Structures are given as structure tokens and as C-alpha cells.
Amino acid sequence: MDILNKTAEEVASIARSGEVSVKEIAEQMINAIKQKDSKIKAFIHIDFDAVIKRAEELDTKKDKSGVLFGVPIAIKDNMNMKNTETTAGSKILSGYTSPYDATVVEKLKNAGALIVGKTNMDEFAMGSSTENSAFFNTHNPVNPEYVPGGSSGGSAAAVKANEVIASLGSDTGGSIREPAAFCGVTGLKPTYGRVSRYGLIAFASSLDQIGPFGKTVKDTAIMLNAIAGFDPRDETSVQTEKEDFTALIGKNIKGKKIGVIKEVQDFKLQEEVKNSFNDTVKALQNAGAVVEEVSIPHLKYALPVYYIIAPAEASANLARFDGVRYGLRVEGKDLKETYEKTRTEGFGTEVKRRILIGTFTLSAGYYDAYYLKASKVRRLISNDFEKAFSKVDALVLPTTSTTAFKLGSITNPLQMYMNDIFTIPISLAGLPAISIPTGTDKKGLPIGMQLVGKWFAEKELLQIAYTVEQELGGKNGI
């Protein structure tokens, strides 16, 4: 049986029934990866022998009840997995062997998942195209001349290319949603605090959140069931009651209020994106939802706020890479020179750029004008959303203003940052959001729409997203 085209839900049930062994599933996946990945280059680290061994172990397990039993899953390379190489796409960590498992890795294992390997990413998750990986570029499976988006480009591409059934990415300012849109898969960024960050290599701690990529909305819900929950090892994970995120899937959304953001109209959208947005709104209305306009007055300040706060946090988060205990070390004549050589050679240009911005905005004399100011405007943005959510149940807006661009076509950093203009405001507020494929442009490149839920209302968000997926499904061949 060909399992490559199946959903996580289907594969788990096949594996559970014993109809196909996990080993056979693993072998099919490995063949697919061997066949396709030389072109797509979604994976950084993959150990086929280890995958087969893990599959055999799963086959001997008596308890096959895990929600992801036997499902091949890839994880972004910024998540620690014990005794495997974890590099976060950076030369400074090449050869680093992690001595521990991230909480999400533990949880995937507990859910019976078959973790296949580590996917490529922009170095330390800083980027929107995966071109900032220190190792190589990942190609968009839809058209290899185009970027897969980023920073979780490898995880999105691996799902799109049917190299795995689902995957994990991390999203700081759009790093799950933007590649999901570019590759034409579904990507969910949970509410900040929903999924433990323990073991996720930090980029910007107050924004980073792990989330799933899947072929369907329901698969991302199943994935979220496996990885969500309070973790006593992460002080920013939030104590909430256990929920089944698939619970409302399939329930009708009659009477739900959906907001469209007035200020989004101020931004120029690619024509097909605009059309697809209108299709999505119609689909929501067809399903009985009431669409109304809301205002996020501070929306346009989100990008500068983000590019102050995220690099500031990153400048501290990346200070531990000093060559003393692990990773790259380039000896100089003394310690200071060793630090400088290690870090200058170990980090790529974009990472250095952001470390320097962050160092500057936190420095004496500039802190108030930049970091503090940005943190205050962040409050205003969050307040705007709070107000909007007093009127509506969810928001809908494009994930990106354009479809994927060609590899190497954007070299100006500011222009690159503009890709995340619609995802960043949501990250700053810590809200949950999902990007689902809603169409393609003239070149056949996927278009993604973003649905945003209230804080910790993933269940309702997934319910609405599922409805849109069903309404548009036939048309987009999903």
C-alpha cells in the first residue's frame, strides 16, 4: 500500500491495525527521500539506519495507541534530539551532538511518532526563504527555482514533497505560516505558551513557538494534540486544561463572526492573492459565518517593533555560542580573539546583522528610544487585537502579500523582512494562527490564507480553518 499520499490520521490507523508495518512505512519514506531530496534538499541530518531501527522498535511495541503511531515526522533542526546532530542551520553548531531531548521530541516519541530526521532552515531561524542556511538552499517542491519560504523551509518542503507525512517547525515572526503558504501546505502557529520551548534553540524567546505542518487542518490538530501542554521545564508554557484540538472539526460555523482587518487594505497585494482572499471570505460566508471589518490601528508599526525586539533578544540568546563548551571554535592568540574569530566565522551575515542591531538597540543611551519604545508599541498592538477579538471570533488575512519568489531574487534585507508583514503582528500579540492553501497563482505557485484565533482558542480556530479547507478544497486540488 502506498502510504505517501495519506494523512497522518490515516497512516496512524494503518500502522495501528498492523496492515502495514512501521518498518515498511519507514522504507517507503526513505525511498521517497532518497529519490526526491537531492533536488529539494529539505533535510540537513538524516540517519536512515537509525530510522529503520526506530521503526523496528515501534513494531515490537505492544501499546500502539499513540495518536501518531508509526507516522513519519520530520523536525526542524533547531530542536534538540539526544545523541543526534543539532545545528539550527548554523556553521557555529556544525558537529554539535545534543545530549538531551527537547520536550516536543519526547512528546512525539510518546505519541508513537517515527521521527525521520532534521530539516533545513534559515540559520537560527532568521530568514524568510531558507537561503540563510549555512549549509545549502532548500527548493520549493512546487517549482524548484523558487524558495520554500522560511525559516522552517525544510519542514514545509518535506511535507509538500511527500517525503514525510507531517513535520514540526518553529515560528517567531511567521516562520511556519510563510513557508506553509509558499509550499501549499497547512501550518499552525499555536498561542505563545501552548507548546513547550524546552529544547528549542532560542531565536527570540518572547516570540518563538513550535507548531506543526500537515497536509490537512485535521493533521495539524492531531499534531497539536501530541505536542501541546504545560511543561515544568519551560516557565513560559501556560497551564491550561487538556483539550482535544480535533473536537470541533466538522462542526458548522454558522453565526461565527470573522473579522477582516481594515489596515491590511493599505498594503499592496499580488492580484491572485487578493482574489484568493476574496474567495476565502466568500467561503466563510457560504458556511454561515458573518464577516465584518475590524481595525488594528497600529498594524503598520509591527514590523519595526519586531525588528527591534527579536534581534535584541537574539543578541543575548546567541551569546552562548562562544566556542568554550561546544560547537565551532577558532583559536586566536588569546581568549578575546578566540571569541571573535569563532563568532565571526561561525555566524552568517544575516545573523551577525541581527546580533549587531540587537546589541545597538539595547545599548546605553538607545535602550529607551528603541527597545523600550518597541515594547510599548507591542502593548498597543496587542491591545488592538484584544479589542478586535471582543467583536469577532477569528480574523482572516493573507499569510503573505505575494506567492513564493525565486531563489536569490531578494538581496536587500529590508525587502526580505517585508515578507512577514502579515504574520509578525500576530506573533507580537502571541495569538494562534494557521495558514491554509487557498489557491495558486498563474505560475502555479500556492497561495496561503491566514486565520487568526483568540488566545488559546486553537480548537475554534481549527474548526473555522477546516471549514474553509472543505469549502475551497475541490477547487485547489487539496
Answer for which of 7, 94, 137, 375 binds another protein (CB under 8 A) is 375
Per rule CB under 8 A, is residue 344 in the interface with another protein?
yes
Interacting residues with another protein between 266 and 305 (CB under 8 A): 298, 300-301, 304-305
Per rule CB under 8 A, is residue 390 in the interface with another protein?
no
Q: How far is the CB of 209 from another protein (least distance, A)?
A: 10
Element (H, E) at 439: strand 433-440
CB of 142 closer than 8 Å to CB of 83: no
Q: Tell me, residue by residue from 44 to 83, as one string, x for binding to another protein by CB under 8 A and - for no binding.
A: ----------------------------------xxx---
Count the residues in the chain: 478
Gap between the Cα atoms of 225 and 213, Å rounded: 13
**Stretch binding another protein (CB under 8 A), from 30-38, 253-261, 274-282, 354-362:** 354-362
Per rule CB under 8 A, is residue 169 in the interface with another protein?
no
Q: Starting from the edge strand earliest in sequence, which strands make up the sheet with 114-119, in order?
A: 43-46, 114-119, 72-76, 166-171, 209-214, 186-189, 433-440, 446-453, 394-398, 257-261, 290-294
CB of 303 closer than 8 Å to CB of 420: yes
Interacting residues with another protein between 10 and 49 (CB under 8 A): none
Interacting residues with another protein between 202 and 241 (CB under 8 A): 202, 204-206, 232-236, 238-240
Bridge partners of 446, per DSSP, are 440
Per rule CB under 8 A, is residue 367 in the interface with another protein?
yes
Per rule CB under 8 A, is residue 374 in the interface with another protein?
yes
Per rule CB under 8 A, is residue 335 in the interface with another protein?
yes
Q: 3-state SS of 322-352?
A: CCCCCCCCCCCCCHHHHHHHHHHHHCCHHHH
Per rule CB under 8 A, is residue 435 in the interface with another protein?
no
Q: What positions carry a catalytic annotation?
A: 76, 151, 175
Gap between the Cα atoms of 414 and 416, Å rounded: 5
The count of residues interacting with another protein (CB under 8 A) is 99
Per rule CB under 8 A, is residue 315 in the interface with another protein?
yes
Q: How far is the CB of 89 from another protein (least distance, A)?
A: 12
Q: How far is the CB of 183 from another protein (least distance, A)?
A: 26
Gap between the Cα atoms of 304 and 421, Å rounded: 10
Per rule CB under 8 A, is residue 149 in the interface with another protein?
no
